[in-house]
Amino acid sequence: MNRNLGVWTAEDCALVLIDYQPPQFESIRSDTPTELIELNTRWLARAAKAFDVPIVLSTVGVASGRLSPTQPAIAAELEGIEPIDRSSMNSFEDQAFREAVAATGRRRLIFGALQTEVCLTFAVIEALKAGYDAQFVTDAVGGRSEIAHLTAIERLGLAGAVPNTALGVVVEWFRDWAGPLAEAARPVTGWYLTEVPKVTDTVGIAEAETARAEAALAA
Amino acid sequence: MNRELGVWTNEDSALVLIDYQRDQFESLRSETPAELIELNTRWLARAAKAFDVPIVLSTIGVESGINGPTRPAIAAELDGVEPIDRSSTNSFESDAFREAVAATGRRRLIFGALQTEVCLAFAVIEALKAGYEAEFVTDAVGSRSDIAHRTGIRRMSLAGAVPNTTLAVVMEWFRDWTGPLAEPARRTTGWYLTEVPGVTDTVGVSDGEAALAQAALAG
């Protein structure tokens, strides 16, 4: 338990995205549908870029030819960011990964990774041990089963990591609709709110929000 | 985890209600139905008034014209309590909000807010960081999806906040059916128990309670 973490800001965070690769997507069987995981991850990437939050991207088994690279729709949001390919499922065993994280200069890491109980958990647990604050995005991750996913969420929370959602992260980064990031927040949030209904009807959106989202995109 | 918190009383608590507004209600898709969230929030407000628990009320985006004011049925319970309107989703970034909370003189804050992982979580996390004790009312809050709601609950609990329900908050405030608050407790509880069946059949009310409730209202 840590009562002193407070609300996180765009200035103190980095975004770390790990193993969003087609084989990992294919075996997801936990609560968030894969299409929504993909959309939520794209939104995190777009928002990080819009708010100048540094991004670290990593894959596993691409160089060895065993696995395909980052899911194209997600890679398309990450132009100019070189993926760090690894052989270890524990990202922190990879020197290039550790150095890329350190090079962000940020001590608060927000993690999205597939899958929850393996590559996400290992990275978050090691980040905490290395002295970082760690947050993970429950609806941008998934596991092979619901119990695997939930077990890992429990493990991460008990270790001191902070659970959040994609929307929670984006809103936490800019916070204030009259603040310095509000202009950047409007189109990126508007884009998301118009995409969600194409992917799922399980996420609520008010009519006035849809109207504002469309207006923000048209502007 | 904090073993020293004990049972809270009406003398040491303040009630903080945040963003019970049109757009936030409309997009609710988590476990507690919107009508029950409304009723539970009304009960919290009524009980706080009956037991002299100070109330802080806040809204977002009303002055800027983005959102509607506090939901009318809830506002009707809060006569004389001026809402503090904000542009930031983090209530503690508002000077007027922080000052209103401090002015209650209470160090234990009981929060209800829409929505769980955003405006509720941010306020609770910041309250803890500022040295307050924080409680949140799981069945008077909600979010766009069940996973978002549950993620917010987990985040707050892991940070040291206390989860509670509407009924338990009211009971915790007055506690004793022969205590000094028993008379106002009978009326406000009676009102609630006669209202619940009109809103949901997912909350149990015994026949004996329903009879006592009607007697208390007639008495």
Query: Residue B1: is its pLDDT beyond 60?
Result: no
Residue B66, domain member (yes or no): yes
Considering CB atoms only, which of A4, A164, A202 is closest to B155? A164
Query: Residue A219: is its pLDDT beyond 80?
Result: no
Query: With contact defined as beta carbons under 8 Å apart, do B61 and B87 qualify?
Result: yes
What chain B residue is nearest to A200 in terms of C-alpha separation?
B145
B120 and A CB contact within 8 Å: no
Q: How far apart (Å, rounded) are the C-alpha atoms in residues A51 and A10?
A: 6
> Could you report the per-residue pLDDT of B74-126, keeping only the tens digit for each?
999 999 999 999 999 999 999 999 999 999 999 999 999 999 999 999 999 99
Domain of residue B44 covers 13-174
**Of B186, B161, B157, nearest in space to B171 by CA:** B186
Look at chain B and report how many structural domains it folds into: 1
Cβ pairs A/B, distance under 8 A: 119
- Given an 8 Å threshold on Cβ–Cβ distance, is A3 in contact with B159? yes
> Could you report the per-residue pLDDT of A93-117, keeping only the tens digit for each?
999 999 999 999 999 999 999 999 9
> Could you report the per-residue pLDDT of B167-206, keeping only the tens digit for each?
999 999 999 999 999 999 999 999 999 999 999 999 999 9
> Could you report the per-residue pLDDT of B17-52, keeping only the tens digit for each?
999 999 999 999 999 999 999 999 999 999 999 999
Query: With contact defined as beta carbons under 8 Å apart, do A133 and A163 qualify?
Result: no
Considering CB atoms only, which of B24, B90, B145 is closest to A7? B90
Residue B180, domain member (yes or no): no
The residues near A186 (Cβ < 8 Å, ≥ 6 apart) are A216, A219
Question: Which CA distances in Å does B194 have to A3, B73, B174?
Answer: 39, 17, 20
Residue B24, domain member (yes or no): yes
CATH number of the domain enclosing B55:
3.40.50.850
To the nearest 10 degrees (0 to 180), the angle between helices A166-174 and A182-199 is: 170
Chain A nearest CA to B107, separation (Å) = 15
Residue B211, domain member (yes or no): no
**What percent of chain A is predicted at pLDDT more than 90?**
96
**Of A197, A139, A202, nearest in space to A166 by CA:** A139
- Given an 8 Å threshold on Cβ–Cβ distance, is A1 in contact with B64? no
Say what the pLDDT of residue A57 is. Answer: 98
Residue B130, domain member (yes or no): yes
Query: Which domains are seen in chain A, by residue range?
Result: 13-171 (3.40.50.850)
Residue B194, domain member (yes or no): no
Q: Is the interface score ipTM higher than 0.90? A: yes
Chain A nearest CA to B155, separation (Å) = 5
- Given an 8 Å threshold on Cβ–Cβ distance, is A168 in contact with B129? no
> Could you report the per-residue pLDDT of A20-62, keeping only the tens digit for each?
999 999 999 999 999 999 999 999 999 999 999 999 999 999 9
Residue B168, domain member (yes or no): yes
Query: Residue A218: is its pLDDT beyond 90?
Result: no
**Of B100, B102, B170, B104, nearest in space to B135 by CA:** B170
Q: Which residue is it, tokens 């994280």?
A: A101
- Given an 8 Å threshold on Cβ–Cβ distance, is B128 in contact with A3? yes
- Given an 8 Å threshold on Cβ–Cβ distance, is A202 in contact with B2? no
Query: Residue B207: is its pLDDT beyond 60?
Result: yes
A-contacting residues of B 178-217, CB under 8 Å?
none
Residue B68, domain member (yes or no): yes
- Given an 8 Å threshold on Cβ–Cβ distance, is B158 in contact with A162? yes
